[in-house]
Structure 1
């Protein structure tokens, strides 16, 4: 059943209708046997998908919808702040939906028509929905991530912001696709509120590339457990900091969790460092 594999389905998982399976030579008894053995997943009456299909996409299909907004972006590897809610797009006239639970339903008009069998909305609409759904700082971090990963094209920004309410259009000038992680985007926004001069992704001789260089002397590295948890990595980080110190530079490493959830504490820490050294 090659047409049902995740790789062949492309970036958006799809369902197969009963008539699709019959056209591929499946008998009704074979479909039933495949469902019972786990070789097929029955999404709803007359609709099936591969067992490799992400559970959130299956849940969206069972609600007669498509995975949307931050949930679809998270599936594609884009940074989002909300991991607790499943966002599903349904057509405005949809009825007979299952219990809402942790689902958030979107009934907006899509600007990019997904494939009729698709279990998720197109990226353009997912980003648009995510800007409307999230706080401004989270929306900027998500859009930065989508641009950095190439999931959203820079050429789509004009149309994207033209489709948003006017109050959201001011966010465009705050985007920077050079950010390599969500916490880096959020850290950049914190630095903007301090009015300091800073550069991003700076190459320093003997040290390497750093996330931020503030006022020419303060290095800020946004550490996450994914890339800094091993002792070997921590040793490399500390030796980099040592090299920076030899050049008269100070290094501050806020953890990603604090940048995302305790931004006021991180801001106060940076402000304290800047105040201790005259510009």
Structure 2
């Protein structure tokens, strides 16, 4: 067995080199445990994958993306929440009752496809996720796939099945330069607010910021970000360097972007408005004192 879901079709086991006698002995020894017709699992199989196959489908959508995040050593970003077991049922289960449980039944655009693996591939999972996630969540997830794996948009589209017009439109808003989900969402929200946003702008030799709006550099920390002493010093060195070059830097946390955006947006507007410096001078009490002399 490999470090995968632990749930297999009998056809897959045969392709892995298991003979019919091997499979029979595995069942007798409970090394292989029946899950559904034509499916077996190992004793250590992923319980969500087992539940999806028992329900007549494959783990898909957000569930499959989280599985690939955990098992493929990739940096795929998956939005918080969406904690149900997301299942794409096989086309052969059409019309059959759905079992009860903490399931979310997902179906991508186009005709239902057969289930041949216990966990959907990243393209199939993204096709389902396009109907489960908000557009900004989906785009941020695709950004992370493009940035941290070898998948390209044409590759993903080729394996998705039907690519709906709505999905094509979201692909057009993706950017493989984005370095985190929070950066992607901040970019999308700033653009929606009317800002012209530069992604990964140069700030020095071999160095880049996350985003730039006018003279404001925006650095976005992901949820997994933990600043050690060296990273802390490097961040402050970068801040000094950008200040010398007359840039301003605003650092945003995961919670700032996902849960406190309206306040953050007002702060960005306050910093970037064209008359900001004139207003500050007019409100400077020392200036008022001088003008009254």
Give your verdict on TM over 0.5. Answer: yes
Q: Do structure 1's residue 5 and structure 2's residue 6 form an aligned pair?
A: no
Report if the CA contact (8 A) 2:7-2:41 is conserved: yes
Alpha-carbon deviation of 1:180? 1.7
Task: Please name the residue that 2:282 is paired with.
Answer: none
Q: Give unmatched runs, 5+ long, in structure 2.
A: 70-75, 279-293
- Determine the structure 1 residue equivalent to 2:291: none
Larger CA deviation: 247-256 vs 157-166: 157-166
Instruction: Confirm whether residue 71 of structure 1 aligns to residue 67 of structure 2.
Output: no
Could you tell me how far apart the structure 2 residues matched to 1:159 and 1:31 are?
A: 38
- Given that residues 87 and 104 in structure 2 are in contact (C-alpha distance below 8 angstroms), is that contact kept between their aligned partners in structure 1? yes
The reply to whether residue 99 of structure 1 matches residue 110 of structure 2 is no
Q: Which moved more, 1:197-206 or 1:217-226?
A: 197-206
Partner of 1:265: 263
Q: Give the CA deviation at 1:167.
A: 4.4
Contact 1:66 1:88 in 2 (8 A): yes
1:235 paired with 2:228, answer no
- Say whether residues 1:50 and 2:42 are aligned partners: yes
Greater displacement, 125-134 / 235-244: 235-244
CA apart distance, 1:272: 1.6
Is the contact between residue 91 and residue 114 of structure 2 (CA under 8 Å) also seen in structure 1? no
Whole-Å separation in 1 of the counterparts to 2:161 and 2:97 = 34
- Structure ID, larger Rg: 2
1:23 alignment partner in structure 2: 20
8 Å Cα contact 1:113/1:122 also seen in 2: no
Taking a change above 3 Å as real, the CA distance of residues 62 and 226 of structure 1, as seen in their structure-2 partners, is same
* Aligned Cα root-mean-square deviation (Å): 3.3
- Within 5 Å, give how 1:105-254 maps onto structure 2: 105-107=105-107, 116=116, 118-150=117-149, 152-156=151-155, 163-205=162-204, 208-215=207-214, 217-254=215-252
Cα contact 2:216–2:250 (8 A) shared by 1: yes
Question: Distance in 2 between the 1:135 and 1:109 partners?
Answer: 15
Deviation digits for residues 225-254 of structure 1 (CA, Å, limit 9, x no counterpart)? 423343442232223212222222211111
Supply the distance in 2 between the matched residues of 1:211 and 1:237 (Cα, whole angstroms). Answer: 12
Unaligned runs of 5+ in 1: none
What secondary structure is seen at the aligned counterpart in 2 of 1:213? strand
Change (3 A) 1:45 1:166: closer
Q: Relative to structure 1, is the Cα distance of residues 265 and 178 closer, same or farther in structure 2, using a 3 angstrom cutoff?
A: same
Most deviating of 224-233 and 175-184: 224-233
The change in CA–CA distance for 1:143 and 1:218 in structure 2 (over 3 A counts) is: same
